[in-house]
Amino acid sequence: MIVHRLTVDGKDYFLPDPVTDLRDEVLKAVRAGGGYVTIPPLKSGSGVDILFSPGMPVVWTKLDVGGEPEAQVRSSGSSDIDPDDLI
């Protein structure tokens, strides 16, 4: 599972994929000299409105929090797993 971390002025906000439209909204607000952008919640809720302005430190980070795919997870309690079945 891919989660995006948006760090604005030292505060972290975690966002679901995709974030392309949100990035465009932030860029548009900054280019306009400042403006509010609603940051959606990761799971539920109304989100949060953030005032973006030129010079404000903003960092986007893409995080893979899903771990290994099921096909690569091996059971330690069973010896009858055929490695060819995992590919």
Tens digit of each residue's pLDDT, the chain (87 residues)? 788 999 998 899 988 888 999 999 999 999 999 999 999 887 777 889 999 999 888 899 998 877 655 444 444 444 444 445 544
The pTM of this model reads: 0.66
Phi-psi region of 68 (alpha: psi -120 to 50; beta: other; left: phi over 0): beta
Q: Which pLDDT does position 45 carry in this prediction?
A: 79
The domain ranges of the chain are: 2-66
Residues in the chain: 87
For residues 6 and 12, the answer to whether their CB atoms sit within 8 Å is yes
